[in-house]
Each structure stands twice: as C-alpha cells, then as structure tokens.
Structure 1
Amino acid sequence: MDIDIEVVCKTASRGVAMLRRFIRIGLACLAWASASVGAQTPPTVAAASDLKFALEEVAAQFRRDTGHELRLVFGSSGHFYAQILQGAPFQMFMSADEDFVFKLADAGKTRDRGRLYALGRIGILVPQGSPLKADGQLRDVAAALRDGRLQRFAIANPEHAPYGARAKEALQHAGLWSALQPHLVYGENISQAAQFVTSGAAQAGIVALSLARAPSVARRGQFELIPESWHQPLRQRMVLMKDAPPALEAFYDYLMRPPAQAIMSRYGFELPKE
C-alpha cells in the first residue's frame, strides 16, 4: 500500500496544532477558574434608597481609611425585609424604618436588634419649570388641584417604602390624600420617586431630604421641608446578619464615628443621641 508522506505530515501537523490549541484553551480556563475561586466578593449591604448618595460617600471614605471594599445595594426597606426573610445573601441591612429590623430580629435572622443610625426627613420637591411651588405646607398643591395645574404627583409606594408611608401620612394630615388619588405616581422606592420629579414626569413629589441635598438633584428642582409633626418619625436602624464578616463589623462601627457622621449630617440626617 502506497503512503503519501506529504499528506501524513500535513495531517499530523494539523493534529499537533489542534492539540496545542486545546492545551492553551485548557490552561486559560484553569487560570480563570483559579482566579474566580481565589477572588472574594465584597460583603453586601442592603440599604434604603434614601441613603444612596450619602452612603456611597461614606463607603468611599471607609475604603480610603481601611482598604475594605463593600458592595452597596439600594432599594425599598420593605422589599429587603421580605428578601432577607427568604434567605437573600445580604450581610448587613440599613433600613429606613426600624420596625423591619425588629421583625428580622424576632425571626432570628440578625445578630441583635441593631442600632439607630439616623432620623430622616421628607419634603416637597418640584422640578425646574414646574407650575407648582416648593411649599412645605402643601398649600400650593391644594390650589393646583383646584385650578388644574397638577397632573402627576410622585411618592414612594407606601406599601413597602417607609418614605412613601410617611408621605401618605403627611398628605392625610394636609387633607389632600383623597383628592390626590387620581394624580399619584408611585416609585418602587424614594429614589425612583425623586427621579420621576427631576425628570419632569411629575409636577411635584414628596422625597427624602437626603436625596434633595445631592447636587445632581438640587440643581434640577426646588425643595422645602414638610413639618415633621405631620407624620411618624423616620427612625432608621441598621443591623448585621449572623454571617457578617469582620469588614462589615468594622463598617457598622465606622458609621457612628466622626468621618461618617459628618457626611450623614451634610445630607440632612439627624444623628441619633443613643
């Protein structure tokens, strides 16, 4: 049987090249897998969305001071509460309503009953060019309902967002809740409600002071506080989960220290006395 040496050589050459390619791919995959196993995901903080701007600054300062990297996830406190009950992998919870922390503690999900870290405030925000005024007594909202200037008014969903629940209480105090029903647009959290206002999708809304203090929000609208006697206090409490790592223990304590407190105060949070 005649054997074509050239064909055999070419075939062998292709086989060797393919084998080398497989080896390279295998080594690359092994290196990727090793890196993935070795890499550590930063510990996760589930935080109420009113904290977005303030907590991002605090976490950045914490990283500069300690070298610890954190993962911040923002949303409504009620949603985080439900997710943690179902086993969501959050290792620290910063709620805008301390009752959610107490419920988690009663359910055995936390180390203890947590610590009060701030008192929040709400106010009315109107975007640039709105026909409404930033009137903390909400008199212009009432007038706008009568004369047709108000089409859409934004608040966070009071069913699961503490800032939405307090907005509802304030509107009830002002006698406007029923009349506003056809005009309400609900954000999933207070940050989304603020976005509705700053984008012009709503002529006004009730948002957190801490969001209104952020430069990106302040330059897009006018804000005025609503009297705190019009609603229940926003007692904001944080707590560590049972599996919280040392980095989060350090952050938990750091939040009560002067560098963090200065940032929180600048965003309008009243600092706790306890």
Structure 2
Amino acid sequence: MAQRADILDETRSEASETYGTYSSTIHGINETVQQLTKLLELDENDEKQSAEIVKNLLKNGRVSLISYKDDLILEIYDEQMKNGSELLQLLKNHHRELWETQYGTKFSWFRSLIEEIEKEAGDVINCVLTRTAEYGNKYMKSCPLLSIVIQLLFESLSDNDMSTAFDNIWNSLTNDGLQSITQYAEYIIEEIMNKQLAKTVNEKLGGPLFMALREYYRNELFRILKESGVVNRNSLYDLALDCVAECGWINGSKMIERKTTKRNFDTLMDFVNKMKRSNDLSSSTTMSKN
C-alpha cells in the first residue's frame, strides 16, 4: 500500500504543478483514482503497477494503457479502448473538472469563454476534452491554459494537425504575440479571429487569447525586466506585458524603450534576443522531429 500511496502522491503533485494547488483539485484526483482503480479492476494487480497505470492515465491519457495490455483483463481492456468508453468519459470528466476548478475559478474570462463555446458550439469543447483524455498532457506544452485556449479557438485543428499546424501556431504566438494570429486564418473562424484582435474604446485588448498570452509571458517577462534593472514605475511591467502579449518578445519590448534608461533597455533587449534565439532553436528542433 505504501508504494501505491507514494506514486499517487507524485500524481497529485504533478497535477498541482500543472493546474495549481487547490483542495478541490486534490479531492477530484482522489475520486478519479478510486474510479479508475475500480473500473479497470486494478485491485487485483500488483499495487505499485496499479498505481503506475493510474498515474499514466491521468498524465499521458488513455493511449498509455496500451503499454499495460498484457497486465489487464483482456475483456476490460478491449471494452475500455473503444470509442466512447466509460474510461474515456471518466478521463474527460476529470480534465473538465480541472479546467473549472483551476482556470474557471481564477479567470472570469476563461469561464466566460467556456460558457460561450458550450452554448454556441459544444462539440468544440467535447473535441478538445476527448483529445486531452486520449493523449493527456502531450499537447499542453509549458502553459496548459494557453494550449487549451488555442485548441478551443482554432477549431479546425484536428488530431493530425497537432504536431504540425498546432506547433506552428504555438511557436508564432509565444514568440511574436497575438498579432501573428492572422498567419493561421485557415484554422479559425474569421469572426472569432477579429474578436481576438478587437480593442475597446480605451484601445485595450481583452479577448481570451490575449489574456491567455499574458499569463504565458508574465513570469518570464517580469523576471528579465527585473534582472535588466527596469524599474516598475507607473505600472510599467503591466504595460510591457500588454505590449509583449500583443506584439511578441522583440517588437513588444521595443514599445517601452522610452519608458526606461538606455542602459537598462539595451540589457533588456540582450535578454530578449537571447531568448528569441533559444526559442527559434527549440522550434526548429521540434519541427525536425516531426
């Protein structure tokens, strides 16, 4: 029992790192673990292996069960690998609950996005949840919130596009900001794209993709601003975050040039250019693997 508890503690820890630490998350994971154990009759297996199976299902999706085919009751395995199986639905419910307890609770804009899509095109949410249940965190990348929003808005992305078009969209948005969305018009409804780019009367962006990009850029941008010696005068960091989320690392950073000293700005741009080169190298490596 101790081995199983240790592995499931790791599972809860990993979920906390991905979605945040909330008591509702931990409770939900505990309940899902019990349901998976019962559904797959894992109590009959070695307890360490049973815990590993559950951990992999939550982290890597239903496809991870293929590795354990010889260790499961064949009748159960065949039934749960079918389309629309109870296992797939259980995993979908698990991820939907994580969306709601972590992002829906923290970000009103995310909650509104889910409600709007559910009302107008519920199949889109079902598609993203099914993909996540099937493949787990495979497409969550370094920011699950941004990944989910991209998948919801670019509704023409199929599973076959996730290692090509999705990667390209991700790399563009996380390097060149919201404005790069126009390069991928074939994957998003024009009206939805225009809403993401629309500004309020105060010339402010506020669409869900912009808001998700702010969360993606926030920590790293604030870190390099601080290390560059840029003073957060008159909420300059928030202004910089808006600029970078809209126009990307290089062009966005240039927009605050006159808000700080030349020395600090030059240091900032050195950081940004190094980061851009690193991101470009990472993107090239990913594309070569695909």
TM-score (norm 2): 0.24
Q: Which has the higher helix share?
A: 2
Bigger Rg over Cα: 1
Q: Which has the higher strand share?
A: 1
